Structure 1
Amino acid sequence: MAKDVIRQKINDAFLRRALKNFAAAYPVARARAFEGLDFEELRGRISAFKQAGLRDLPELVARFTASAEKAGAMVHLCATPEEANRTIHGIIAAKGADFLVKSKAMTSEEIELNHYLEERGVRCLETDLGEWIIQLAGERPSHMVMPAIHKNREDVAELFSRATGRECPPDIPQLVRVARETLRSGFLAGQVGLSGANVAMADSGAIGIITNEGNGRLVTTLPRTHIALIGVEKIVPSLAEALDVIDILPKNATGQKITSYVSFIKGPTGGEGRELHIVLLDNGRLRLAADPDFSEALKCVKCGACANVCPIYEIVGGHVFGHIYVGGIGLVLTPFFHGFDKAEEILKLCIGCKKCNEVCASKIDIEGLIVDLRDKVRKPVGQKFLFGTLMKNRKLFHAALRAAYLAQKPFQGEGGRIRHLPLILNRETANRSLPPIAEKPFRDIAHEDNSKPKTQNSKREKVLFYSGCLADFVFPEMCRDTVTSLETLGYEMSFPQKQTCCGIPARYSGEMEVARDLARINTDVLLEEEADYVVTICPTCTMSLRHDFPKLLSADPAWREKAERLAAKTFNFSELAARKIPPIPPLSKGGAEGGGISVTYHDACHLKRGCGVYEEPRRVLTELVGAEIREMADCDKCCGFGGSYSIKYPEISREVLKNKMENIAATGARTVAVDCPGCKLQIEGGLEAAGAGIAVEHSATLLARRLGACRT
């Protein structure tokens, strides 16, 4: 994605304000809409029947076709966008028509229907207000549900003035009146109407449409010919499944309990001489439904919630974060519907926070699919060397990091932090300072400690410490605090020297074979020594060992079994520490250093959503550290680090970080507690550069201080 386009969107004040306001209001409205309902149970049910439907999709298509034709509709199954466009044009031409009125249909955007028809003399009128605004602007939607969210009233007034030939003031009630008056004549004059559908039922041949504007019903009833353009994945077995989709869609899309209009259409409506043509669009869907790795993308109900909660979408909008379909699922669908050339750049824009997975109406692993798709696009020159040669060779990789310790010295400022890098790299430290690479990594410290005689205690549970690269080479004191804390709590600690990178940087960059090799190396290393647990202080490493290794090595039964054994005993620091609550009495407020403090807590994306861990860190802080937690707004929203993401897209990363720092400052806490070295690096760098005077500490460090205070 061109940097100037990203900067343009970042600097678009209205876009930023509109998206930020919506991002703040949406979770509140959504929570209210789901009150009294079990979202997890509902989306689990939807996921199950959608997945089953994908396995039987050809049969569902055949059943729907037979049922719809029995009800009087004419069904056209079109393999490609070109075939669908030709079919629709043929229907219109057969009626001698040259004017099509349209209700909202994202599938028509997918096949670029308007452009095709207008080239052939058919005028198209979008009657959904947002779609009409976009049509007048000559743009594509920037959101699947709210296509014109990026337009302000001044933009709309200018578009309406140009379209109507009269001055339209930027007053919302007047603009709505202009739209109503202008579109009304279109409804009455429309010769053929076209709609999409939110769901189609195989047993009855009926289709379901939900809208907030009356245009949907007008387009499907006033013209004597109605064309419904529907992706084949929208077909479900019966009304029962359709009602689940209709139930969840408005709640998840806009935070509404129900839309203004819910319509079911079975066969031609309005009496003699009426026609209903149902154009079923394949465009690779049947092939995708049979793909064991990516078929779940077709479970999408097109609610757009993945964009609503995405921190990157909030910064740059849908014209950057998507192609035709936007948001997280848009990144997944684009290569299959429009080709990998259209997806190559946008796939890199996902920061990997998994927020989309958390709200997806059909439990799609959107983030996981995005990461897997990166394996199929072209890689930058030199990337294969970086991951395939440097990172796979532990000794070479660690030697490079040690060399970087010497190279950084000219750029260190007061306190040792790095504030300026040379030439193009300087943008990586803009508005943020970086911690230096440590003179002595933790692995050296651990090696020296292991050489000293130790008293073994067979009654203690043995824990292997997997530190992760960042903590090992940048935050060795954090690693030492981890060992100190867990040993004081009663665990026996060991640091395997042959451990190396968990492979996440390679996997997130699309180098899957390198990631698999690193998974094998670490699996062998961490199973070589008998232990009860493997502990990490980096949630990304936890997620990698616990979830990614079994997936990466699933093709080989022997490796899969080993990876699953490792996964079963891998835990994050806070999980193991929480098992020892309460070994010590809490300090009173205002007590010794490390206890009796007020903190605000930042949930790391990969800890909460990647590993499902969010209660244990708070228990460690309150019941072991003795801290009072002042919860920040959006405590689980990404800080903008994302590993190499903050280097590849520093402008976006910086804007995400600003949101996080605002929320931190609003709590009044002077310490931010984190459970991720990457989050510490990102947040601490931003706060330090801003002169905020707010400390950022890993829970292991706070606990080590607290336990040290108790011992004294």
Structure 2
Amino acid sequence: MARDVIRQKINDAFLRRALRNFAAAYPVARAKAFAGTDFEQLRNEISTAKETNLQILPELVERFTSAAEAAGAVVHYCRTALDARQKILEILRQNGADFLVKSKSMTSEEIELNPYLEEHGVTCLETDLGEWIIQLAGERPSHMVMPAIHKNREEVAELFSKATGKECPADIPSLVRIARETLRSGFLSGQAGLSGANVAIADSGALGIITNEGNGRLVTTLPRIHIAVVGIEKIVPALKEALDVVTILPKNATGQTITSYVSLIKGPTGAGRQLHIVLLDNGRRQLAADADFAQALKCVKCGACANVCPIYEIVGGHVFGHIYIGGIGLILTPFFHGLDKAEEILKLCIGCRKCNEVCAAKIDIEGLIVDLRDKIRKPVGQKFLFATLMKNRKLFHTTLRALYLAQKPFQGEGGRIRHLPLVLNRETANRSLPPIAEKPFRNLVTERPRQGSTEKKAGKVIFYSGCLADFVYPEMCQDTVTSLEALGYDVLFPPEQSCCGIPARYSGEMDVARDLAKINIQVLLDREVDYVVTICPTCTMSLRHDFSKLLQHDPEWHAKAVALASKTVNFSELAVRHLDGGNPPVEPVLAVTYHDACHLKRGCGVFREPREVLTRLAGVEINEMEDCDKCCGFGGSYSIKYPEISQEVLKNKLEKIVAVGAAMIAVDCPGCKLQIEGGLEAAGSTLSVEHSATLVARRLAQ
């Protein structure tokens, strides 16, 4: 993605304010809308039903077609976007229609219908207010549900003034009135109406459409011809599955209990009228048969993945998407519009997994985005770099030693790096960086006397440090070992352990990631231990989840990966097992606020345990900050590849930290410590950031 485009969106004051206000209001409205509804149960039911539907998709298409035609509709199955465009034009020409009024339809956006029809002499009028605004602006939607969220009232007033030929005031009630008056004639004179559909019901042939504006019903009833463009994945067997979608979609999309209009359309609306249903394939059958990516078709198009995305909040949908935007848009784009349209946007995901948490159909959005990076072109030399450095520990250590010496001219007071040379300086524009340690933990541990014996009653563990803690925060590693030994564990540290492979995997180098998984499995399973303990959530997620996924097609290695996963725990998960549930927290000696690491909370489901360890073992009082689980903007190499975005996400996090007024920030991720600590230091703050293991070690040492 071009840097100037990203900077333009970051510097768009209205866009930033609008998206930020919506991001703040949405969770509150959503929680209120779901009050009394079991979201997890509902989305589990939808997910299961959708998976079943995809397995019988050809059958559902046939059943729906038969039922719809029996009700008087004409069904057209179109394999490609071009087929669909041509069929719609053919229907219009056969009926002498050259004026089409449209209700909101992302599927019509997908097939790029409007420009095609305009080129062939058909006037198209968008009657959804947001869609009309962006039609006048010559743009595409920046959100699947709120297409004009990026436009302010002054811009809208200017567009309306040009469209109506008279000066339009920039106040919302007036603009709504002008839109209503201007569009009304279109409803009355439109020769054909076009809509999408949120669901299509196979056993009745009915279409389900939910909208917030009355235009949807006018478009589908007033013109003599109604054309509905429907993706075949929208077909459900019966009314029950349709109502589940109707129930969850408005709540998840905009935080509404229900939309203003829920319509079921079965057959033409009267004598002499026509209903044409264009069933669109456009790669859907092929995607449904793809075992790795089929789940993307479970999407109900609620747009919630964009609503909670920290990257969308910064740059908006015209950067974070193609036609479909947000996390799911990044996945659908290569299948519907080609990999060339997806190469840049697939890299923009920071991997926070917030989208997974709110997805109405329980799609592993973040996981699919990462998997798709394996299919796009990579920078020349990237694979060689990863394979050479990551897999060769001796060379890796030599390189880091050289970097340790090279960093000295750029270190300021206290040893932190505040300015890098030339183009690299943008990486430290709004934060400082910690230096590479003179001695990594793997060197220090060989000099450190073992504490205790192998007969400790708590058991024996391997400490898997991860690269960042090993080479930048060796003291954090020492604190971890101190804490584990104080809890009664005999701690081993195999120096042969290697990078968990996440940098390679997130860069699309899956072969390198697989090789690193095998190296680590061999090392970590070579010793008889009770647990493999990590202090980096990304490493935890790699060992616990990613290794088995990467090696799923190799039965022998997959079995080993599963065995390793069963032993892998994050530090706080293990430490919490040593707490007596009946004992109250120890007397607090420090007030902290806690930042949830994305991969720990949403990748591993661990968020209560760190708080218990901190309050009942480390002796701190936690003052919860607002948005405690919102991404800090680190994302590993993301903060290097997209520093402008990373720094803006960090600013949002720092505001929440400062507002809570705690004396310290506790984290369970070395990367979060690096990001937050650097941002605070660059802003002149004296607040410190410490890993939970360090706070536990300090308390146990007293």
TM-score class, shorter-chain normalisation, is over 0.9
Q: Which amino acid aligns with 1:485?
A: S
1:529-544 equivalences in 2 (<5 Å)? 529-544=527-542
Q: What displacement does 1:403 show? A: 1.7
- Corresponding residue of 1:42: 42
In structure 2, C-alpha distance between the alignment counterparts of 1:398 and 1:143, rounded to whole Å: 46
Q: Which amino acid aligns with 1:158?
A: E
Q: What displacement does 1:582 show? A: 4.2
SS at match of 2:323: coil
- Corresponding residue of 1:648: 641
Contact preservation (8 Å) 2:457, 2:489: no
Contact preservation (8 Å) 2:456, 2:488: no
1:112-511 equivalences in 2 (<5 Å)? 112-269=112-269, 271-449=270-448, 455-511=453-509
- Corresponding residue of 1:593: none
- Corresponding residue of 1:111: 111
In structure 2, C-alpha distance between the alignment counterparts of 1:233 and 1:316, rounded to whole Å: 29
Which one is further off, 403-412 or 651-660? 403-412
Change beyond 3 A, Cα 1:586–1:149: closer
In structure 2, C-alpha distance between the alignment counterparts of 1:636 and 1:394, rounded to whole Å: 34
Change beyond 3 A, Cα 1:492–1:166: same
1:689-704 equivalences in 2 (<5 Å)? 689-704=682-697
Contact preservation (8 Å) 1:582, 1:623: no
Question: Could you report, residue by residue, the CA deviation over 1:321-343 in whole angstroms, capped at 9, with x for unpaired residues?
Answer: 00000000000000000000000
In structure 1, C-alpha distance between the alignment counterparts of 2:683 and 2:17, rounded to whole Å: 22
State yes or no: 1:667 paired with 2:643: no
Q: Which amino acid aligns with 1:702?
A: L
Contact preservation (8 Å) 1:417, 1:433: yes
- Corresponding residue of 2:673: 680
Q: Which amino acid aligns with 2:92?
A: I
- Corresponding residue of 2:558: 560
Q: What displacement does 1:445 show? A: 1.1
- Corresponding residue of 1:627: 620
- Corresponding residue of 1:592: none
Q: What displacement does 1:585 show? A: 8.3
Alignment TM-score, normalising by the size of structure 1: 0.98
Q: Please tell me the root mean square deviation across aligned C-alpha atoms, in Å.
A: 1.0
- Corresponding residue of 2:515: 517
In structure 1, C-alpha distance between the alignment counterparts of 2:51 and 2:31, rounded to whole Å: 26
SS at match of 2:448: helix
Change beyond 3 A, Cα 1:230–1:453: closer
Gaps of 5+ in 1: 590-595
Q: What displacement does 1:400 show? A: 1.1
In structure 2, C-alpha distance between the alignment counterparts of 1:688 and 1:569, rounded to whole Å: 37
In structure 2, C-alpha distance between the alignment counterparts of 1:310 and 1:461, rounded to whole Å: 41
SS at match of 2:233: helix
Q: What displacement does 1:456 show? A: 2.9
In structure 2, C-alpha distance between the alignment counterparts of 1:74 and 1:658, rounded to whole Å: 54
Q: What displacement does 1:599 show? A: 0.3
Instruction: Figure out how many residues of one structure are paired with residues of the other and give that number.
Output: 701
Alignment TM-score, normalising by the size of structure 2: 0.99
Question: Could you report, residue by residue, the CA deviation over 1:362-400 in whole angstroms, capped at 9, with x for unpaired residues?
Answer: 000000000000000000112112111111112211221
Question: Could you report, residue by residue, the CA deviation over 1:97-124 in whole angstroms, capped at 9, with x for unpaired residues?
Answer: 1100000000110011000000011000
Contact preservation (8 Å) 1:582, 1:624: no
- Corresponding residue of 1:545: 543
Q: Which amino acid aligns with 2:273?
A: R
Q: What displacement does 1:588 show? A: 3.1
State yes or no: 1:99 paired with 2:99: yes
Q: Which amino acid aligns with 1:464?
A: I
Q: Which amino acid aligns with 1:400?
A: T
SS at match of 1:323: coil
Gaps of 5+ in 2: none
Q: Which amino acid aligns with 1:120?
A: H
Q: What displacement does 1:692 show? A: 1.4
Which one is further off, 135-144 or 622-631? 622-631
Q: What displacement does 1:597 show? A: 0.5
1:61-76 equivalences in 2 (<5 Å)? 61-76=61-76
In structure 1, C-alpha distance between the alignment counterparts of 2:244 and 2:10, rounded to whole Å: 38
Q: Which runs of 4+ in 1 moved over 2 A?
A: 452-456, 582-589
SS at match of 1:319: coil
Q: Which amino acid aligns with 1:330?
A: G
In structure 1, C-alpha distance between the alignment counterparts of 2:597 and 2:563, rounded to whole Å: 25
Contact preservation (8 Å) 2:200, 2:235: yes
Question: Could you report, residue by residue, the CA deviation over 1:631-670 in whole angstroms, capped at 9, with x for unpaired residues?
Answer: 0111000000000000000000000000000000010002
SS at match of 1:109: helix
Change beyond 3 A, Cα 1:280–1:586: closer
Contact preservation (8 Å) 1:670, 1:693: no
In structure 2, C-alpha distance between the alignment counterparts of 1:60 and 1:86, rounded to whole Å: 24
Contact preservation (8 Å) 2:666, 2:690: yes
Q: What displacement does 1:459 show? A: 2.7
